[in-house]
A = this chain, B = another copy of it.
Amino acid sequence: MKKHNFSAGPCILPHEVFEKSAEAIINFNNSGLSILEISHRSKDFLAVMEEARMLVLNLLGLEGKGYQALFFHGGASMEFLMVPYNLMKVDGKAAYLDTGTWANNAIKEAKLFGETQIVASSKEANYNYVPKIYSIANDASYFHCTSNNTIFGTQMKSFPITTVPIVCDMSSDIFSRNLDFSQFDLIYAGAQKNLGPAGTTLVVVKEEILGKSGRTIPSILDYEKQIKAESMYNTPAVFPIYASLLTLRWLKKNGGIAAIEKINEAKANLLYSEIDRNCLFKGTANIEDRSSMNATFILENNAHQEDFDKMWTAAGISGLTGHRSIGGYRASMYNAMPIQSVQVLVAVMQELENKNK
Contact = CB atoms under 8 A, between A and B. Distances in A.
Contacts of A10: 36-40, 235, 238
Contacts of A255: none
Interface in A37-94: 37-40, 42, 73-78, 80-81
A170 to B, nearest CB: 15
A248 B242 CA distance: 24
A34 interface: yes
Interface residues of A, number: 65
Contacts of A192: 235, 238
Contacts of A105: 219
List of 3 A-B pairs having minimum Cβ-Cβ separation, nearest first: A199-B237, A77-B234, A36-B197
Given A7-B42, A75-B220, 17 more contacts: A3-B31, A9-B235, A10-B38, A11-B37, A13-B36, A18-B36, A19-B26, A33-B318, A75-B235, A77-B234, A109-B219, A192-B235, A197-B238, A198-B236, A199-B236, A199-B237, A240-B240
Interface of A: 1-3, 5, 7-13, 17-19, 21-23, 25-26, 31-34, 36-40, 42, 73-78, 80-81, 105, 108-109, 112, 190, 192, 196-200, 216, 218-221, 233-240, 243, 316, 318-319
